[in-house]
């Protein structure tokens, strides 16, 4: 299955998994922001995981829940915070 949650993933020199871009109109638009650090995927801690293992977790199922640390707050969002987003894969609908 070729799926996209509407964001790019990068790895910092320190190994942190960071949102590198958010596609306008994509599933992550308004939920993730550039520089958000992803710390867990579907309950699995990814700190220290390889980029390849992280991608494998992202595409492993029909839905994804991300635990993030907001590193750079968007305008009006307040200070850094932890949070999570949850969504289903493209083409899937919640009744």
Pairwise pLDDT comparison (81 vs 45), residue with the higher score: 45
- The reported pTM is 0.73
Mean pLDDT of 4-31: 90
Given a cut of 90, is residue 16 above it in pLDDT? yes
pLDDT(70) > 90? no
Rounded to the nearest 10°, the torsion over CA 19, 62, 64, 93 is 100
Read off the tokens for 85.
């987003």
Considering only CA atoms, which of 85, 64, 90, 92 is closest in space to residue 2? 90
Check pLDDT > 90 for residue 44.
yes
Give me the pLDDT at residue 50, please: 93
CA dihedral 23, 28, 29, 32 (to 10 degrees): -110
Mean pLDDT check: name the lowest of 36-45, 46-55, 74-83.
Answer: 74-83
Backbone torsions φ then ψ of 29, nearest 5 degrees = -60, 125
End-to-end CA distance of the chain: 22
């Amino acid at each position: 299955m070729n799926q996209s949650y509407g964001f790019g993933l990068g790895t910092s020199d320190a190994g942190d998994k960071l949102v590198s871009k958010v596609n306008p109109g994509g599933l992550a638009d308004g939920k993730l922001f550039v520089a958000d650090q992803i710390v867990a995927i579907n309950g699995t801690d990814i700190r220290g995981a390889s980029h390849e293992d992280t991608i494998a977790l992202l595409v492993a199922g029909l839905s994804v829940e991300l635990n993030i640390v907001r590193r750079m707050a968007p305008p009006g969002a307040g200070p850094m915070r932890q949070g999570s987003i949850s969504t289903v894969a493209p083409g899937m609908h919640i009744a």
